[in-house]
Structure 1
C-alpha cells in the first residue's frame, strides 16, 4: 500500500490525482494526502456548479427553440425591410441629405456626436456556454483536493461532446456534464455509459438524430437509413477500444439497435422539447446480433441491453484501465498497474470507486516519477488555485484557447490528447510561458511574497534551482511566472 506521511510523495499525489495545493493547505494536506483522496472517493458524490443559467435540459430546450424562432423572425424582418434597389446599386451617386451641403457646410456648427454604442451582449448560445464554463471553473478552484474535478475532466473528455458542433452543443455541453457525467463519477461505469449515450448533447454530436432504421416506418417512408457515427464511437472510443475485437458488421448492427434514440422536437409530441426520447417510428425492427449475441428486446430496452453488455465486456475493462493509468500516472502505462485496475473493474462489475481506490492505494501509482505534464486545463486551474486569483470568463477562455484546450471543444470525438507529446511542443511551451507571464502580472498585487508562495504550494518538491530562480527574479510578476513554469509545478 502507498506510504502515508511522506511529504514529497503527498505533494506529488495532490498534483497527480488532484489540482494541486491552494495557499495555506501546506504540510498537513501533503501529510494526509492519501487519506484525503480516499475520503473524497468514500464521500461518493460530485458537487454541482452553482449559478448556471439553466437548471436542466427542459429549460434549455425551451430557450433553444425560442432562440431559433427569434432568429428566424429577425431574418425575415431584415429581408422584408431590404430596399428593392438603392441609388448606389444602380451606379448613381448618393444624394445629400436635405438641407445639407456636405459633412460640415460653411457657417454650420459641429453637430453633436452620437453616443458611443454599448457592446452587445453575446447571443444566447454563447452566453450559456460562458456562464457554464465560469461556474465549472469556480467549483474547481474551491475544491479541497480537486480529485473529483479531475475525474470529471477525465470522463467528460472520454465521453466528449463539442460546442463547435451546433447551437445544441454550445448550449448543452455544460448541462451534459452536470447531468450525464457528475452524478456517475462515483458510481458504476454502466450507469455512466447509459447516461452519456442517451443525452441529447451526445446524440446531436455523434449524429444519431439522423440515424433511421431502413425498415422502420420512417425509413420506408423517407427512404433514409443508418448513420453509424454514434455506434462506431461507442465501441471504439467509449467501451471496447479500437482493438476490442469487434467488426464492421458489429458497428452496423449496433447502429440498428440504437435507432430511435433521439431528441424531442419543438412540438413536444414525444417529450419536452430538447429532452432525450425514444422514437419507435425511427427504430429498426427485429432481433439484431452483436458480438455473437442476439438482442431481441423491444424498443428502447434493446439498446439498453446492448450498452449494458458492452459496459461489462472484458475489453472495456482493459481499455478503461489503460486510459485511467495513462491519464494519472504515465504516458506509457505500467502494465502491472493496468492489470490491477482492469481486474478490479471486472471483479467489481464496473464499480468506479473500487477502481479509484485501487489506483490511489497502489505503490506503482504513488511512487511513479512525476513525468506527466499538466494539460492546459489542469495548468490553468492549478495556477489560479495557487495564486488565489478569481478569473472572469475572458481570463479563462483566452489562455485556454491560446494553449489549445478550451472547455468542451475537442478537435474530434476522441477528445483531447492525453500525452505529453500533445502539449510539450516548442510552440506549446512558448505559449505557456506567455500565459504564465500574464498570470504573473495579474497576481502581482495578490502575491506579495512569491518565495513564500513557492514554499507553501510546492513544499518539499521545491528544488534549489527553482527556489533560486524565484528569489533572483527581476520583478514580482516574473517571480510568479517562473514559479508557474517550474518543472515541479508543470509536472505531476
Structure 2
C-alpha cells in the first residue's frame, strides 16, 4: 500500500498524540503502525522513584500526617532538619506521576495506546481535587486499575476501577454500611454509618449503562447495597497495608439483591463481581461505551453507523477493548479528512512538546495545564473532563492557548517555523497558514502561528 502523507498526518493527530520530527516521513502505512501497536498488547507503565503502589502511598501519607500533627503539638522528639522542608508527599507524588506520563507521551511512537489510557482514565474519573488521599493515589489508580486492562476486557477494568482504593475514597464507598449488617445494627453507630449511593449511581450512569440505560432509583440502591463492605484496611495486618482494598463482611448488607431484573445471592465479594460482569455485558453499556469512544476520537456528534459498529464489536467480542480499538481503525468514518475534533488542552500541550522535541518540564507543564483548565486527574465532577469543542474553544480557552503557544515559541526560537509546519502538519498545512508563516516577524512568532493554526488545534 502506498504511503499517503496526508493520511499519516491526520492519523497521528486524530488517533495519536501528534507528529514528531521525522514521523511524517515514515515509509510504512500509518494504519499498519497503529494496528501493530494494538496487536502487540503492550501498555507502557510509568516509572520513577516516587511512584509506588496505592497502599504504600496511603500508608506513607498517614505517617506523614501523624508526624506533622505531633510536631504541631510539640510531642515529637525527632530532630528538626536544617533547610526548607521538602514538599508534602501529595505534591511530590502528584508531580512525579505527571512527569512520568509526560515522559511516556513524549517517547510514544504514535501515542495511540496512550490516548486509549487517557480515554479510559477519564471514563473512570477520580479527582485530585478531593484532597490529599486522592492527590497521592489518582496516578496510581491509572497505573493499577486502567493501564493493565486498556487492551484487555472491559469487565476486568470495571471491577478493578470500582474496587480500587482511589475510587472507593472518591465516591465515598469507604463509609457505606449496609443498614441490616452487624455494623449497621450496632448500637451507638456514628452519623456517617449508613448506605452511600454515590458509587452505585456513577457505576450505572457513567461507567456502564449510561443515563438513558434503563435503570431506576431502585437499581441504584440495589447496587449500593451490593457495594457495602468494600472499603479500606485501617491498620496493617496479614491482608495488607493500611489503604489496601478489603471486603468487610460485617458492614455488607446481608441477603440477595435484585439489580436490573436479576437476583444476586449474598456470596460475599463474589456478589459484586457477578453484578458488574452482567452490567459490563449489557447492550446499554455497549451503546454508551461506543458513543463515548466515537465522540472522543472522531466527532462531537459521531456518525451513527460508526457508533453502531463499535457497539456490535463490544457485544460480539465480549468487551475486548483491543478489538474495539481495531474496529475504530478499520472504520471508514474514522478517517474522514475533515478535522472535526478540537484538541483538548492535554492533547494540545503534548502535541506541541512532541512537535518541538522539547523535554517536558513537569512544573511548567502543570502550570500550563492549569491555565488551560485540564490538569491531570482533576476533573470537577465524576463524569470526567468534557469531550466536546464547546468546553475548550471558548474565548478564554483560546487566549490561554495563545499564551502557551507564545511561550513555546520563545523556548524553541531556534526552530524554523516552516520546517515545524512541514514536520507536524505536512500536507494538512493550508495556504493561509503557510502565508502567515512567511509574514511572521520572528521565528518565535512563526512557531506560535503553527501551534495556533486551525490544522494544529483540530484533529
Please state which band the TM-score falls in when normalised by the shorter chain. Answer: over 0.9
Q: Give unpaired runs (5+ residues) of structure 2.
A: 77-81
Counterpart in 2 of 1:475?
442
The answer as to 2:21 corresponding to 1:23 is yes
Q: Report 1:284-363 matches (<5 A).
A: 284-363=253-332
Counterpart in 2 of 1:85?
none
The answer as to 2:108 corresponding to 1:135 is no
Q: 1:7 deviation in Å?
A: 2.0
Query: Per-residue displacement from partner, 1:213-247 (whole Å, max 9, x unpaired)?
Result: 01111111126320000000000000000000000
Q: Which of these residues, 40, 50, 53, is aligned with residue 53 of structure 1?
A: 50
Q: 1:270 deviation in Å?
A: 4.8
- Aligned equivalents of 2:438, 2:382: Cα separation in 1: 45
Counterpart in 1 of 2:6?
8
- Asked if the contact 1:11–1:458 (Cα under 8 Å) also holds between the matched residues in 2, the reply is yes
Q: Report 1:4-403 matches (<5 A).
A: 5-28=3-26, 32-77=29-74, 120-221=85-186, 222=189, 224-268=193-237, 270-403=239-372
Query: Per-residue displacement from partner, 1:438-489 (whole Å, max 9, x unpaired)?
Result: 11111113x2x22112112211111111112122211111111111011111
- Aligned equivalents of 1:467, 1:362: Cα separation in 2: 32
SS of equivalent residue, structure 2 residue 33:
helix
Q: Which of these residues, 402, 406, 413, is aligned with residue 382 of structure 2?
A: 413
SS of equivalent residue, structure 1 residue 164:
helix
- Aligned equivalents of 1:336, 1:200: Cα separation in 2: 38
Counterpart in 2 of 1:98?
none
- Aligned equivalents of 1:215, 1:59: Cα separation in 2: 33
- Aligned equivalents of 1:4, 1:164: Cα separation in 2: 48
- Asked if the contact 1:329–1:368 (Cα under 8 Å) also holds between the matched residues in 2, the reply is no
- Asked if the contact 1:259–1:284 (Cα under 8 Å) also holds between the matched residues in 2, the reply is yes
- Aligned equivalents of 2:306, 2:458: Cα separation in 1: 20
Q: Give the structure-2-normalised TM-score.
A: 0.95
Indicate the structure (1 or 2) with the bigger Cα radius of gyration. 1
- Aligned equivalents of 1:404, 1:177: Cα separation in 2: 20
Q: 1:120 deviation in Å?
A: 4.4
Q: Give unpaired runs (5+ residues) of structure 1.
A: 80-116
Query: Per-residue displacement from partner, 1:369-424 (whole Å, max 9, x unpaired)?
Result: 20100000000110000001112222111110001000000010000000000000
- Aligned equivalents of 2:220, 2:239: Cα separation in 1: 27
Counterpart in 1 of 2:79?
none
**Greater shift in the superposed pair: 310-319 or 44-53:** 44-53
**Greater shift in the superposed pair: 410-419 or 118-127:** 118-127
Counterpart in 2 of 1:101?
none
- Aligned equivalents of 1:462, 1:235: Cα separation in 2: 43
**Greater shift in the superposed pair: 201-210 or 54-63:** 54-63
Query: Per-residue displacement from partner, 1:103-131 (whole Å, max 9, x unpaired)?
Result: xxxxxxxxxxxxxx965432111111011
Q: Over aligned residues, Cα RMSD in angstroms?
A: 1.7
**Greater shift in the superposed pair: 468-477 or 338-347:** 468-477
- Asked if the contact 1:9–1:367 (Cα under 8 Å) also holds between the matched residues in 2, the reply is no
- Aligned equivalents of 2:267, 2:2: Cα separation in 1: 52
Counterpart in 2 of 1:453?
420
SS of equivalent residue, structure 2 residue 130:
coil
**Greater shift in the superposed pair: 378-387 or 221-230:** 221-230
**Relative to 1, partners in 2 of residues 1:471 and 1:52: Cα closer, same or farther, differing over 3 Å?**
farther
- Aligned equivalents of 2:62, 2:398: Cα separation in 1: 42
**Relative to 1, partners in 2 of residues 1:235 and 1:158: Cα closer, same or farther, differing over 3 Å?**
same
- Asked if the contact 2:410–2:444 (Cα under 8 Å) also holds between the matched residues in 1, the reply is yes
Q: Give the structure-1-normalised TM-score.
A: 0.89
- Aligned equivalents of 1:270, 1:213: Cα separation in 2: 22
**Greater shift in the superposed pair: 311-320 or 295-304:** 295-304
Query: Per-residue displacement from partner, 1:291-321 (whole Å, max 9, x unpaired)?
Result: 0110004110001111111000000000000
- Aligned equivalents of 1:40, 1:199: Cα separation in 2: 27
Query: Per-residue displacement from partner, 1:337-360 (whole Å, max 9, x unpaired)?
Result: 000000010000101111111110
- Aligned equivalents of 1:488, 1:332: Cα separation in 2: 19
